[in-house]
Structure 1
Amino acid sequence: MTKKIAISVPDDVAERLAEEPNVSAFITESVRQRMAGERTRRALRQVGFRLTEAGLTEAGQRLDEAQAKITPELRAKAAALLGEASRGRLAS
């Protein structure tokens, strides 16, 4: 089931949405990602993690820095290793 709604967004968001061939699908996926993050944070809090906005921001920055260090060569090597592992060829 779907429901049609009207929303107001800032100009920069409207410009970005104008680039999408299917704005509804884009918005739906974006909101679902946000919902998944909220569920994850809720679950982490329930098992004792103390999450703060500053901590989440720092973790995001560290993740961005780590991902920036992934070179095409490293990505290819990782893909090859995953392929070998999935075929059971890696030695213990």
Structure 2
Amino acid sequence: SWLVDWTVDPADITASVRALAALGTPYESTEEDWVRGQMQSQGQAIVESLAQTGIETSWDREIIAMIAYLQRLGRDGNAVFQAEGSQ
């Protein structure tokens, strides 16, 4: 499957981050080294979690990017629900 086989290019993600930052999304940095570091850090945490279940992969795979994206949606969505509940 392409999700497992393909790798993510940090330059592509950096371009997306820069476009989103231009539209007002707050990012700590839009430099490619920072984006790559974030990708590697978040991806490696997911890889280590998967390794505990016997799944071997690397941080730069599309599947890892998808998992990181879904985790982020869950965290951000949860924060919205908590904020609405406190009003």
Give the TM-score of the pair, scaled to structure 1.
0.36
- Of structures 1 and 2, the one scoring higher in RCO (CA 8 A, sep 6+) is 2
